[in-house]
């Protein structure tokens, strides 16, 4: 009887898994059919000279949605839309020139089309042009001009533009450094959901730059950035839980957010560089999480873990087949020196701990109160 129930259960699970797979395939087929029909409608309108349809058809060719991906065809339709004054098409065409997709890479043409879109009031193009002026890519570096274009985008409520203005005020590029003004613009962008601005506002509250220092507010904004996948925000939120700054101290939450930070990095490094990198990251993470001197926990353990992590990474660098003389040599020397230094520190802490009486024991308990006489 039990064997029969097991068979029925296995059959039900197989049916459910098969149904889930078929549903996913069917759903993808429906979406693809819908995209194909939409692309046909766009083509019919684009052939009649509709600028918006030409832009959407060009985008479909660029991303391969409903049609076969073809960058040259994307450029053809986007150019037709841009020639009619479509700001989105002008920006997209500038992007393709910047990337060299469907056309030869040409920074001058990229800037020309991006400027046209920016002059037509397209906020994304204004931000892209501001970045080019700030970095001097395709144009002469000009921080004042970068700030001008960021402000144009910000005045339209664009979160990237607002963060750009905050960044310029924070660094003092093109304008006098003003942390209060930087925090004001960062708050606007953060409230509009910009993760970089949320991280910047968290830093401002943590160090009291332009706003009153508040670890609670810092942790709140770090959390908002971390929940959007901002890696540095995840690290600072984990550190806040580890230190108990702005949030109750919680080593489990700290470990969770540290893993969210180190996990993608470790997986990427493991795929590209091998398993020794993963071991190094795990050891360094353990060294960060192990608290200094808790009852019964050795003070030397974090230093020992860092030493072993450094030695493991030196082994990884030495065993690699490809040799990059300056970078690899510097890495071997740096991590070897770090490993030796932390090993020396661990030995010193262990010796001092043994001399001072090794284990501090349990925390002292208060003396019991004497019973009070009813008399």
Other Cβ atoms within 10 Å of 250 Cβ, number: 14
Which residue in 97, 85, 147 sits closest to 122, CA to CA? 85
Q: Residue 261 and residue 225: Cα distance in Å, rounded?
A: 12
- 14 three-class SS: helix
Give me the percent of the chain exceeding a pLDDT of 90: 46
Give the pair of three-digit tokens for residue 149: 């274009």
Q: Domain residue spans in the chain?
A: 34-120, 280-353
Strands in 233-331 per DSSP E:
none
Give me the mean pLDDT over the 74-92 stretch: 92
Per-residue confidence at 365, pLDDT binned at 50, 70, 90? very low
- In tens, the pLDDT along 10-64 reads 677 777 767 777 777 777 777 777 778 888 888 888 888 899 999 999 989 988 8
Q: Which ranges of 136-250 does DSSP label H, i.e. alpha helix?
A: 143-154, 159-171, 179-191, 195-207, 215-227, 231-243
Give the pair of three-digit tokens for residue 82: 């841009």
Which residue in 182, 112, 125, 195 sits closest to 153, CA to CA? 125
Give me the mean pLDDT over the 161-180 stretch: 94
Per-residue confidence at 277, pLDDT binned at 50, 70, 90? low
Q: Residue 174 and residue 118: Cα distance in Å, rounded?
A: 20
Superfamily of domain 34-120: Tetratricopeptide repeat domain (1.25.40.10)
The whole-angstrom distance between residue 68's C-alpha and the CA centroid of its chain comes to 31
Give the pair of three-digit tokens for residue 168: 């310029």
Q: Residue 25 and residue 316: Cα distance in Å, rounded?
A: 43
Give me the percent of the chain exceeding a pLDDT of 70: 82
- In tens, the pLDDT along 220-231 reads 999 999 999 999
Between 349 and 374, where is the model more confident? Answer: 349
Least confident of 101-115, 126-140, 185-199, 320-334: 320-334
- In tens, the pLDDT along 50-81 reads 999 999 999 899 888 888 889 999 999 999 99
pLDDT of residue 305: 78
Give the pair of three-digit tokens for residue 131: 């970045």
pTM of the model: 0.68
């Amino acid at each position: 009887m039990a064997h029969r129930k097991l068979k029925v259960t296995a059959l039900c699970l197989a049916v459910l898994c098969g149904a889930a797979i078929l549903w996913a395939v069917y759903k993808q087929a429906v979406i693809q059919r819908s995209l194909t029909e939409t692309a046909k409608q766009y083509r019919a309108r684009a052939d009649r000279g509709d600028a918006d349809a030409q832009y959407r058809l060009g985008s479909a060719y660029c991303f391969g949605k409903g049609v076969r991906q073809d960058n040259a065809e994307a450029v053809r339709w986007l150019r037709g839309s841009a020639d009619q004054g479509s700001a989105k098409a002008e920006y997209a065409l500038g992007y393709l020139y910047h990337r060299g997709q469907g056309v030869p890479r040409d920074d001058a043409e990229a800037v020309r089309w991006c400027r046209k879109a920016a002059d037509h009031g397209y906020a994304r193009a204004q931000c892209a042009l501001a970045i080019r002026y700030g970095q001097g890519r395709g144009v002469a570096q000009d921080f004042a001009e970068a700030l001008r274009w960021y402000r144009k985008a910000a005045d339209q409520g664009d979160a990237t533009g607002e963060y750009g203005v905050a960044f310029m005020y924070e660094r003092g590029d093109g304008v006098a450094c003003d942390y209060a003004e930087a925090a004001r613009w960062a708050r606007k962008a953060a409230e509009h959901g910009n993760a970089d601005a949320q991280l910047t506002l968290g830093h401002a509250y943590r160090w009291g730059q332009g706003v009153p220092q508040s670890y609670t507010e810092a942790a709140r904004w770090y959390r908002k950035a971390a929940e959007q996948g901002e890696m540095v925000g995840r690290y600072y939120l984990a550190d806040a839980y580890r230190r108990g700054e702005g949030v109750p101290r919680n080593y489990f939450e700290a470990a969770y957010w540290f893993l969210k930070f180190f996990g993608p990095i470790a997986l990427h490094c493991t795929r590209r560089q091998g398993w020794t990198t993963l071991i190094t990251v795990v050891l360094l993470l353990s060294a960060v999480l192990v608290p200094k001197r808790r009852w019964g926990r050795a003070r030397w353990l974090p230093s020992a873990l860092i030493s072993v992590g450094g030695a493991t990474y030196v082994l990884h660098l030495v065993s690699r087949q490809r040799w990059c003389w300056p970078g690899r040599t510097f890495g071997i020397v740096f991590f070897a020196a770090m490993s030796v230094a932390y090993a020396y520190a661990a030995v010193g802490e262990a010796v001092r701990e043994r001399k001072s009486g090794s284990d501090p024991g349990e925390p002292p308990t208060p003396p019991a109160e004497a019973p009070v006489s009813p008399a």
